[in-house]
Amino acid sequence: RPQRGPRRWCPATDTRPAARECHHTGAPARPLDDARDDDAVRAVVLTGHGRFFSAGLDLRGGIDFQALSSTGTPTDPFLRLSSCLLTFLCFPKPAVAMLRGHAIAGGLILLLACDYRLGLDGEYRIGLNEVAIGASFPKAAFEIVRLRLTHQQASELLLGAALYPAAQATRLGAVDELLPAASFDETVFRRAARLGSFPRSAYAHTKAALVAETIARIESETPEEAQRTAAVWLSAESVTARATQAQKLSS
Q: Which of 21, 123, 130, 221 is catalytic?
A: 130
| Residues 6+ away with beta carbon under 8 Å from 16 | 52, 58
Let me know: does 16 contact 108? Beta carbons within 8 Å. no
Q: Is 130 a catalytic residue?
A: yes
In 3D space, the residue among 70, 4, 84, 15 whose CA is nearest the CA of residue 43 turns out to be: 4
Q: Determine the Cα–Cα distance for residues 156 and 165; give it in Å rounded to an integer.
A: 14
- Within its chain, how far is the Cα of 141 from the centroid? 8
DSSP for 96-126, written as a single string: EEEE-SEEETHHHHHHHTSSEEEEESSS-EE
Using an 8 Å Cβ cutoff, are 106 and 141 in contact?
yes
SS (H, E, C) 55-84: CCCCCCCCCCHHHHHHHCCCCHHHHHHHHH
Phi then psi for residue 125, to 5 deg, are: -125, 155
User: Does residue 127 come out as left (phi exceeding 0), alpha (psi in the -120 to 50 range) or beta?
Assistant: left
Decide: 87 and 66 in contact? Cβ < 8 Å: no
Q: How many helices (H) and strands (E) does the chain have?
A: 11, 9
Known catalytic residues are 130
